[in-house]
Amino acid sequence: MPKIIHRIGGFAAPLCIALFWTSTVFVELFGSHPAVAQLKSLIVTPGLWILIPAIAMAGGSGMFMGKSRRGRLVDTKKKRMPFIAANGLLVLLPCAILLNRWAAVGSFDTTFYVVQAIELIAGPINLILLARNVRDGLRMAGRLRASPVQA
Ligand code: HEM
């Protein structure tokens, strides 16, 4: 069971972030203000209601499975978790909520774009950390070969 929970959360979390990021860039470049507002609203609901539980599912089940595992990969995965959680909860979550509130009332001022820029930078940072956890997880599960350098 923890393995299945881990797999679902582990794949859903990076997919959500990649989807939020690409759709944000697309709609900011080519969409109208109402389209931006619509996307901001979707990112909060249902977006965050999928992303946050997915990270919690992957992290919680990972820590549980990690109790019985030793090694560099599991240690590195554990060390990445506080950064993933902090970036998600302290940066991405407040950014998404604020941007949604401002977009809903048509407030597309400098503050909006500064926060939007912060969100667009923080997203890929978490995506890289999550993708590395996926890669190391697949190596640990024997579904991906270790790189020749590390072998
Ligand atoms: C949100 C962060 C994480 C992501 C995205 C993630 C992702 C993954 C993925 C995709 C797999 C392969 C699953 C499979 O195909 O069977 C995996 C395996 C694994 N992960 Fe994570 N993981 C995360 C956090 C953690 C943490 C914090 C730990 C504990 C230190 C951990 C421990 C494990 C273990 C032990 C396996 C191997 C399971 C097996 O042997 O089949 N993961 N992870």
Instruction: Report the pLDDT value the prediction gives residue 149, as an integer from 0 to 100.
Output: 59
Q: What is the pLDDT of residues 110-126, one digit of tens each?
A: 999 999 999 999 999 99
Q: Tell me: pLDDT of 16 over 70.
A: yes
Q: What is the 3-state secondary structure (H, E, C) of 81-106?
A: HHHHHHHHHHHHHHHHHHHHHHHHCC
CA distances from 10 to 30, 52, 111 (A): 31, 12, 33
Q: What is the pLDDT of residues 32-65, one digit of tens each?
A: 999 999 999 999 999 999 999 999 999 999 999 9
The answer to whether the CB of 64 falls within 8 A of the CB of 88 is: no
The structural domains of the chain, with segments of one domain joined by +, span 2-140
The answer to whether the CB of 59 falls within 8 A of the CB of 14 is: no
Question: What mean pLDDT value characterizes the chain?
Answer: 96
Q: Which atom of ligand 1 is nearest to the CA of 143?
A: 15
The answer to whether the CB of 9 falls within 8 A of the CB of 57 is: yes
**pLDDT confidence band for 151 (50 / 70 / 90):** very low
Query: Half-sphere exposure of 84 toward its Cβ, with a 13 Å CA cutoff?
Result: 28
> CB under 6 Å to ligand 1: residues?
3, 6-7, 10-11, 13, 55, 58-59, 62-63, 65-66, 69, 74, 77-78, 81, 84, 130, 133-134, 137-138, 140-141, 143
